[in-house]
Chains A and B, each alone.
Chain A
């Protein structure tokens, strides 16, 4: 290494992806992409420098390495302290994620034919004004080498698919998605995910529900018992557990953009994050499931781990990196550094942040006098310290005495993160636990869009404020 450089790592990343979509029976997207490049990170004089290039010639890589070193030295002009990394082992490994059916081996004709069939099923309903279907696949091979002597070759295959029906009538646009919004479900799988989702079977239902929402009652405003489906709970976890536990946010690294966190260091092992039935983990291991945050090693060569985050309601853990672990009193990173590609610097990112299954059957979960049950995210927003949130869902149902009695449209709910999780009094069991994929999590400058995983079962919360999102439309 160049004099003064105390650490360096290199990631060569090769990505192949395919995106297919339809809109009202016509092709929306039909594209493929193959990219390759290298990102070089160096620690010189106690400061970081990073340079990335897709010029993989010897000259191009030498230029990028020299640029990374010169950037690190420029950083020292406004440096207040020297970066110290938590110790880590040297690893040599090759890992390929499980993929039962290679999505790139399935003819595009067959994939388009499936989307066309789903699209037709949605448009069988004459009151549907727009139908959308999509599937997307990616294979990412990354070779990581570091000055510790690590050499790690990982290949991950991901898949995603879903559909949506829109209906415009009068002064309303209503939408239903399956199996989730944001294009559906995404997992660390191959084409088997598409087959498991059974899109054709679910298409008529979402079309009917999108149209039915026009004649549904408006979601009331007030304090109600709230039951969330597992996909909405997955996003609730993402926003109100996943982001606040990013230790770089806590320490101020994201203050200018993504914000900070209410989980200041003094809260660790003290804060009652949730009720005693709330158990949350950050788990990148394959044992947790095929999530978008599942891998063998993170992007600074630390093995995948399971970190307890909330234990019996108590806040017990952050997501850390080699640089930040010591701030949380740890001697080692818990392996959450991820980069959105060869051209981006690894940051602390959610892996699979999940709330573990509870013990309730669905019947027990719904066994209440009066509640609102909300399904499928429509809008999501939370403040920059992750206290106050508001979510909207595509559809809701009023529950009376354990039964769905009527459909409700335009449901929203809001609250304060810790109050919300402390109001949780039932979580459905493992039979209803799903590891959802969020494909579009943004963080960092330049922005990095990352896929994250969130395991969730349907869950019940007491005395939650609902309906205030629609105060702007009639209700005061």
Chain B
């Protein structure tokens, strides 16, 4: 952690930014500072094949003058570079036309306390990761399988400061372990992430992936159509997670959100409750937004009714409300979005969801999910790495993978039961707190060859 930027270092950097701006006749400036170190050990074919570490720092300066604003970024922190980045921001700012709706810089505010920093994770070594990977590989080899995956550890610092006194500083750590176990005609997958790498259990994840690959051997083919599905948390995350970019005031104002004309009306089932909560213990990220506004908890969906959306200072002002602390750094095209999603779970275990299903399909993971229709929120994608047939309350074997075309509005209206919410990690969206979902009428439209 030799280069971790402390609060004091960030304050000193901003002081230099302010002085450089003042020397150029500009008093309103904001700085976003991000630094950190990320190390990732990658394995495939039962061996470590890529093993990397990155240390970096970015200083992004926004100038504001006469209703105009623009941003310049550098990763060099010497006086010459700071002068250049401030000069760049000012030049761009002065090149633009005034925007009568541009607000002055944000005012200082207090932020809630969040502790997501694990010193041991920040200092995790390549040897520690390699030992865990070697054990995961051993577990796969024991069953004649081939393992591929990652074990990453990182720390990051984010800070925002402006010339009106805003000063937010946040440090956190993140560890991710993911594994795919490959058998002759099947595969299994498991992934988890946490602030503290000691709370991950790579061996348990490896066993889970290996067991899935074993259970899905000799996959059979069932025809596409509508099925009851049980989406494990990662699958529910990667599908339902596609809609949250639409929960923003700017998306609504632009009429590019599927919530256009639907806020306050029942859209999903009564068992769907979704919040945005940066303070949730399983969440990640700083308690402030891209302008330094404190994030507050949002009731995105209550009993199937979309209630609140995220707003920035600008979109809140246009709508006559208060900002929620979800704005992106200015200037930007998209306004804001909730980034700390918590979908409330139920009390049904995965086993009980399976046991209650006379005929259905258990889905481990979804892949390559893209939007087909923006208003019904029809998404297409594939199942992957563990798709199983359920008959009479039991998993009876693996299935060939499907393509789905499924509207999210319909999906969240067809949820029959929910598992406990957990921190889920996939590959199609950012981590969220999500339960397993049992959904009827899920629309598989085609099959692939494996």
Contacts and interface: CB of A to CB of B under 8 A. Distances in A.
Interface stretch (A85-93, A167-175, A360-368): A167-175
Interface in A376-407: 378-385, 387-388, 390, 392
A112 B96 contact: yes
Interface string A61-86: 00110011011101101111100000
Interface in A190-209: none
Contact of A388 (B50, B146, B149, B448): B448
B371 interface: yes
A21 B70 CA distance: 12
Interface in B340-391: 367-376, 378, 380-382, 384
B368 A256 contact: no
A378 B48 CA distance: 38
Contact of B45 (A72, A112, A251, A465): A251
Majority DSSP secondary structure for residues of B touching A: strand
B52 A72 contact: no
B363 to A, nearest CB: 14
A24 B48 CA distance: 49
A50 B370 contact: no
A388 B375 contact: no
B152 interface: yes
Interface residues of B, number: 101
Given A29-B333, A445-B42, A469-B378, A257 B427 contact: yes
B236 interface: no
A473 interface: yes
B337 to A, nearest CB: 15
A72 B101 CA distance: 54
B71 A31 contact: yes
A470 interface: yes
Interface string B64-98: 00000111111110000100110011011101110
A283 interface: no
Nearest to B406: A472
The interface residues of chain A, by DSSP majority, are classed as: mixed
B51 A75 contact: yes
B55 A379 contact: no
Contact of A108 (B43, B91, B256, B260): B91
A130 B254 CA distance: 6
A54 B38 CA distance: 13
Contact of B53 (A71, A108, A175): A71
A137 interface: no
A333 to B, nearest CB: 16
Given A34-B73, A387-B450, A256 B53 contact: no
Contacts of A75: 41, 48-49, 51, 126, 130
Given A55-B3, A343-B54, A381-B403, A78 B182 contact: no
Nearest to A447: B427
B434 to A, nearest CB: 20
A181 to B, nearest CB: 12
Contact of A34 (B84, B134, B445): B84
Interface size of A as a range: 35 or more
Nearest to B56: A54
Contacts of B46: 78, 80
B380 A381 contact: yes
B137 interface: yes
Contacts of B376: 171, 472-473
Contacts of B258: 173
A54 B384 contact: no
Contact of A30 (B127, B331, B371): B331
B49 A469 contact: no
Interface stretch (A225-233, A289-297, A409-417, A430-438): A409-417
A108 B90 CA distance: 12
A52 B332 contact: no
A378 B374 CA distance: 10
Interface of B: 2-3, 38-58, 69-76, 81, 84-85, 88-89, 91-93, 95-97, 99, 101, 125-127, 129-131, 133-134, 137, 146, 148-150, 152, 178-180, 182, 187, 189, 254-256, 258, 260, 331-333, 367-376, 378, 380-382, 384, 401, 403, 405-407, 410, 427, 443, 445-450
Given A34-B88, A378-B372, A390-B405, 5 more contacts: A80-B46, A80-B47, A379-B370, A388-B448, A470-B378
Q: Which 4 A-B pairs have the closest CB atoms?
A: A28-B333, A74-B126, A388-B448, A255-B148
20 contacts: A27-B331, A28-B331, A29-B333, A32-B72, A32-B89, A34-B72, A35-B73, A47-B51, A50-B50, A77-B130, A77-B134, A81-B47, A253-B148, A259-B367, A345-B52, A384-B384, A445-B42, A469-B380, A471-B405, A472-B406
